[in-house]
Structure 1
Amino acid sequence: TLPTPVMGGIMILLFGSIALVGMNTLSRAKLDLTAPRNLCIASLILVVGIGGLHLGQGQWSLQGVGLAAVIGILLNLILPNAPASTTEEH
């Protein structure tokens, strides 16, 4: 078996790599992470996923990556998109 500190190091590398791949995907999609809507969604997903927020009652529980994904989906549906530009560039 692997010692606990080694497993901790592997987990840090694994989750850091997953976060980096996600950020790379967002940058390749040309998503503006400085836009207030996108910044709010991305930051809440990271805080909920890393911070260990736990929602649940009785036998029902949601936490970690699952809760972060649900919050991201809900925020994407709830928060308004930026208004479309009314001027066209020729």
Structure 2
Amino acid sequence: MEQELVITNSHGLHARPAAVLVEKIKELDADVRIQVGAKTANAASIMSLLALGAGPGDEARIISEGPDAGAAMETVVAILTADS
């Protein structure tokens, strides 16, 4: 499953939301990748996520596969579009 969105989290994907995202993704049985521009990150790796340098207003493509793909997608979308 794939979804494109604009990151509306006012801080982008900085350390705190990246850490929360990694923690939640590791609880699910899904392979999740986030693509911003030419860079792609494994959503289960904080270093990979931080290397994206994703900020507010950036367009992201989320790719989620596996038994928990739907729940993983919802988690990523919620974090990338959170108000804080």
Q: TM-score, normalised by structure 2?
A: 0.29
Tell me which protein shows more strand as a share of its residues.
2
Give the greater-gyration-radius structure (CA).
1
TM-score between both structures, scaled by the size of structure 1: 0.28
Which is bigger in relative contact order (C-alpha 8 A, separation at least 6)? 2
